Every structure is written in structure tokens, then in C-alpha cells.
Amino acid sequence: MIIERLKQQIEFIVEIDKLKDIFRQTLLINGSRYENDAEHSWHLAVMASLLSEYATEKVDVSRVMKMVLIHDLVEIDAGDTYCYDEKGYLDKAEREQKAAERIFNLLPRDQAEELKRLWEEFEESTTPEARFAGALDVLQPLIHNYRTGGKSWQKHSITSGQVRKRKDKIRDGSQILWEYAEEMIKDAIEKGYLKP
């Protein structure tokens, strides 16, 4: 029985290695290439550890870290939907739900249920942990875009209005991080990184 459980866990570990091949529309801060989902998730976990003191409500940091580490695993099957792609969002939930069923069910039942619940919690954004994780998920690419001189924003002709609309999710998890993001946006407009 233990060996069967271990085999399932190893198969899941092997499967999620595919996250390294899912590329996002966010450049690495050094501008050399686009980041992949695994790098994004790792970065969010570090941010959760370092920035939890700025969460609007007290959060269980280890729960936030688990959430951000697994939140994009569904993109192995569903692909990354660019945050400003309105057409891509039309069937995003359906694609991701189907992917969640397949990917999480590679694990033993107890772990599959735990990870699926964490993923659903992140998606629903109803707990302090999910709101803070969601804030970090929006803040991280904003930092990257700002630090690369807005290259991805410019490539996709993104306006400050679009960025501000997306950034509002940060406020749900952290007023301080939301204010920090607003300062970055203002500065990005002044520097010409982002269209007013």
C-alpha cells in the first residue's frame, strides 16, 4: 500500500515538472526571456514568506505558500491565459477545472482533495490567505513589468487603466502593497513605460 501511494506521489511530481515549460507573458526582471509558471510560483512563495506582515488580515503563511505553489498547476493542461486576454477568459474556468480534476487526481485521494481545496480556495478568493495570495499573484508581474521598463506592457499595448483595473485585486489582500503598486504605476506612466 505504501509503495502504491509513493508511486502516485512520484507520478504527480514528474507531471508537475511540465510547469517549467508553460511560459507566461512576463519577462524576467533582467529582460532576457519570459518566465515560466514554475519560476512564477516559486517567486510568489518567497514573496509570501517575506511580505506576509503586509497582509490586510493575519494569514497562515504556510497555507499561502502552498496555495501559490499549486495555483498554476492547472496550466499544464489549460495553458497560461494572459491576464489582459478577454477572449481567453471566456472558457478559462472550464479549461482549468478540467485540468484540476486530472492533475490533482494523480495523487493519493487525501492529498488530491487537499490540493484541490487549496486551488479552489485561491480561485474563490474568500479567505484571508486566498486574498493575500491573489494580491501577490497580481503584484509580482507588475513588479516585473515595471523593472523591465514596461516591455511586456508595450508589446501588448496595455494601458494604465487596464493595469489599474487588474491591480485592484491587490487591495483585497493588502492595502500597503496596493499603495506600493499605485506608486509604481504612476512612476511607469511618468517614465513612459505605460500608456496613460
Rg (CA), the chain: 17
| 64 CB-side CA count, 13 A | 29
Residue 154 banded pLDDT, cuts 50, 70, 90: very high
What is the model's pLDDT at position 26? 95
Kindly list the structural domains of the chain, giving each domain's residue range(s) and its CATH number in brackets, ordered by start.
2-191 (1.10.3210.10)
User: Residue 144: what are its φ and ψ, rounded to 5°?
Assistant: -60, -45
What is the model's pLDDT at position 2? 79
What is the model's pLDDT at position 1? 64
What is the model's pLDDT at position 64? 98
Question: For 55-65, b where at least 16 C-beta lie within 10 A, e where not — what string?
Answer: bbeebebebbb
What is the model's pLDDT at position 23? 97
Residue 86 banded pLDDT, cuts 50, 70, 90: confident
Q: Rounded CA gap, 146 and 148, in Å?
A: 6
Residue 90 banded pLDDT, cuts 50, 70, 90: confident
12, 106 contact by CB (below 8 A): yes
Please report, for residues 36, 41, 105, the alpha-carbon distance to residue 20 in angstroms, rounded to integers and kept in the order given.
Answer: 6, 10, 20
Find the range with the poorest average confidence among 34-43, 104-113, 157-166, 174-183: 157-166
Q: Rounded CA gap, 43 and 140, in Å?
A: 8
| 179 CB-side CA count, 13 A | 6
Cell 474563490 sits on residue: 124
